[in-house]
Chain A
Amino acid sequence: GENVEQHPSTLSVQEGDSAVIKCTYSDSASNYFPWYKQELGKRPQLIIDIRSNVGEKKDQRIAVTLNKTAKHFSLHITETQPEDSAVYFCAARGMDSSYKLIFGSGTRLLVRP
C-alpha cells in the first residue's frame, strides 16, 4: 500500500523567509496530492492540492511542486507570516484506493516574528 514520508518534523523560520516541506510517496500510481494546515486547537483544512498531470501549482504565497519520477512533492511558503505557524500535513491518494488519503506525519512550522 501507499506510504508517505514527510520532512522535516519541525521547522522554524524568521518572518519573511521562505519555508519548504517535503514529502515522498511509494505508490507510483498515486495521482492526487493535497496539503492540509492545522492551526493549534483547530481542524485540518485543505490549503492546496495538485494532481499528477501537473508539475506545479501556485496560490498567492503558497505553491506545491510534484516530481513524479522521483516520487516526491513539496510545499513552498514564501514571505512567511506568524499566522502561517501551524502543523502541515501532506497526503497522497493511490489509484488502488479511490477514497483513501494516506497522510504524512506532519511538520510543525513556527514563524518567528
Chain B
Amino acid sequence: DVKVTQSSRYLVKRTGEKVFLECVQDMDHENMFWYRQDPGLGLRLIYFSYDVKMKEKGDIPEGYSVSREKKERFSLILESASTNQTSMYLCASSLRSYEQYFGPGTRLTVT
C-alpha cells in the first residue's frame, strides 16, 4: 500500500523562526512535491524534486527552500516564518509523471 507521511499534523511557530517540514515516502518514487493549500486558491506548487539533490521552483517558492538528500525524504524549509505562511502544507510523490500520492498534510500556524 502506498504511504506518504509528514512529520507533524499540526505545528505552531513564532514569526522569524526557522521551520522544517518533513515528508517521507516508501514507494521508491522519483518525484516529490510540496504544495500549500489555502481556501479558494486550490493547491499551489511551492517546489518539486525529480531526483536526489535535484529541485525546481514551483509557482510560489518565495520564502521557502527544500532539501532532498535521500530519495525517500523531501524537506520543506521556511527560513524565517511569517504570518502569511500560515497554511496547510501537503507533500506528494509520484512515479515518473503520473498519479500523485499525497501525505496527510501539516497545518502550520505562524503567530
Contacts and interface: CB of A to CB of B under 8 A. Distances in A.
A103 B102 contact: no
Interface residues of A, number: 22
Interface string B24-45: 0000000101010000111111
B42 A103 contact: yes
Given A44-B90, A46-B99, A99 B48 contact: yes
Nearest to B91: A43
A45 B43 contact: no
Given A89-B42, A99-B50, A45 B102 contact: yes
A6 B102 CA distance: 21
A106 B37 CA distance: 10
Contacts of A104: 42
Contacts of B96: 98-99
A105 B98 contact: no
B100 A46 contact: yes
A43 B31 CA distance: 18
B97 A6 contact: no
Nearest to B40: A105
Nearest to B94: A99
B42 A100 contact: no
Interface in A32-76: 32, 34, 42-46, 49
Given A99-B31, A99-B50, A100-B58, A43 B104 contact: yes
Given A43-B90, A100-B48, 10 more contacts: A9-B40, A32-B97, A32-B98, A43-B104, A44-B90, A46-B99, A89-B43, A98-B97, A99-B48, A99-B94
Interface of B: 4, 31, 33, 35, 40-45, 48, 50, 58-59, 90, 94, 96-100, 102-105
